[in-house]
Amino acid sequence: NNRESNNNRSSLGALRIQPAKKQGQTISKGHKNYDLMLNLQLGIRHSVGRPAPATSLDLKASAFDPKEKLWTKFPSEGSKYTPPHQSVEFKWKDYCPVVFRTLRKLFSVDAADYMLSICG
């Protein structure tokens, strides 16, 4: 029996777990996609963090209409609704915002945790 446990130990000792490969690229200032990455982060934070009335879990069919969207302009200097930023001016289109807010509520996804997981 002692021989069996030694055998198991040696076979387990040989088992090596490889670290997971990091997916994607690190994008920093100067990278060709830096402005795009920054704009996506700003837009997502704006959409998820925007104050909204309490949502019901009972959605109307119209909430799923692709025409149901909000446009927000993000000037570099900021606006009444957007923060100043280091990127170029851009427009953000938020599709079916009530649907996505309701899904996060339905699955108990905390807005701050969600933004952190996507935007870092």
- Model's pTM, two decimal places? 0.68
pLDDT of residue 21: 74
What's the fold here for domain 35-119? Answer: Phosphatidylinositol Phosphate Kinase II Beta (3.30.800)
Question: Residue type for 89, please?
Answer: E
Q: Cα(42)–Cα(34) distance, rounded to whole angstroms?
A: 12
Q: Cα(97)–Cα(103) distance, rounded to whole angstroms?
A: 10
Q: If DSSP states are collapsed to H, E and C, what string results for the chain?
A: CHHHHHHHHHHHHCCCCCCCCCCCCCCCCCCCCHHHHHHHHHHHHHHHHCCCCCCCCCCCHHHHCCCCEEEEEECCCCCCCCCCCCCCCEEEEEECHHHHHHHHHHCCCCHHHHHHHHHC
Segments making up each domain of the chain, as ranges: 35-119
From the first residue on, what is the mean pLDDT of each consecutive set of 10 residues in the chain (120 residues)? 53 69 83 92 90 73 83 95 93 90 90 85
